[in-house]
């Protein structure tokens, strides 16, 4: 396991964030984005809630979300192992997040963080922004590019990370267009994040032993 300094009853990460801090930040940021999207969507009459198919769920769309999430994560992991500067910087950034911010988090924590990111970010980017721009007459290719740029900037931990996030955003936008089901995109996003977080955490723990 990774050794980190202690603060109180819990270990603190290299950034000074305890497990409780990480979970609280995840709830505030990710849930905050989702709540903001719902409020703005209601105010400007973007009815993206109609694409949230929960009762009954669209099992085909959900299966596509899981499948594409796993496939995208596998591709991302392969890219990170390429002997290229871009791939090395991306891998270092992911490993640093796993070590400094998520070192204390267990598997249920990572599942919760991934679900919060999938729901909150997709309500904002695919639900409000993508559907809203389309509703107001912006062409589909332009919408996808604009959403990808904004999504990448949200993840501006490094240039490599911005590019990777923008590429992932394009895939999520296309999946949303294909399924018309925001839940499938939420699931895809959450599965993608979870696989990458689990692999990064387990790798950092093995290297720290």
- Residue with tokens 């990480």, as numbered in its chain: 22
d(CA 168, CA 156): 14
Per-residue confidence (pLDDT) for residue 80, from 0 to 100:
81
What is the 3-class SS of 77-142, one letter each residue?
HHHHCCCCHHHHHHHHHHHHHHHHHCCCCCHHHHHHHHHHHHHHHHHHHHHHHHHHHHHCCCCHHH
- Report yes or no: 1 and 208 within 8 Å, Cβ to Cβ: yes
What pLDDT, in 10s, does the model give residues 63-75? 999 999 999 999 9
d(CA 70, CA 54): 21
Write down the pTM of the prediction.
0.87
Strands 10-11, 6-7: pairing is antiparallel
- CA-based radius of gyration for the chain: 18
CA angle 91–84–152, rounded 5-degree value: 55
- Residue with tokens 């105010």, as numbered in its chain: 43
pLDDT: which is higher, 96 or 130: 130
* Residue 72 CB burial class (10 angstroms; 0-12, 13-18, ≥19): buried
- Report yes or no: 184 and 61 within 8 Å, Cβ to Cβ: yes
Helix then strand then coil, % of the chain, to nearest 5: 75, 5, 20
What pLDDT, in 10s, does the model give residues 110-142? 999 999 999 999 999 999 999 999 999 999 999
Instruction: Report the mean per-residue pLDDT for the chain.
Output: 86
């Amino acid at each position: 396991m990774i050794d980190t300094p202690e603060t109180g009853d819990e270990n603190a990460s290299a950034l000074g964030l305890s497990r409780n801090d990480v979970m609280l930040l995840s709830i505030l940021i990710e849930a905050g984005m989702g709540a903001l999207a719902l409020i703005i969507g209601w105010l400007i009459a973007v009815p993206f809630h109609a694409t949230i198919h929960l009762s009954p769920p669209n099992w085909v769309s959900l299966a596509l979300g899981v499948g594409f999430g796993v496939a995208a994560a596998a591709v991302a992991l392969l890219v990170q192992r390429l002997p290229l500067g871009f791939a090395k910087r991306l891998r270092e950034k992911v490993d640093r997040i796993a070590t400094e911010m998520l070192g204390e988090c267990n598997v249920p924590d990572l599942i919760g963080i991934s679900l919060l990111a999938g729901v909150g970010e997709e309500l904002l980017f695919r639900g409000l922004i993508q559907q809203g721009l389309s509703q107001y007459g912006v062409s589909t290719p332009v919408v996808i590019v604009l959403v990808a740029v904004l999504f990448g900037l949200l993840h501006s931990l490094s240039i490599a990370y911005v590019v990777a996030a923008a590429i992932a955003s394009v895939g999520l936008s296309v999946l949303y267009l294909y399924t018309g089901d925001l839940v499938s995109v939420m699931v895809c996003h959450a599965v993608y994040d979870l696989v990458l977080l689990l692999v990064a955490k387990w790798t950092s723990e093995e290297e720290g032993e």
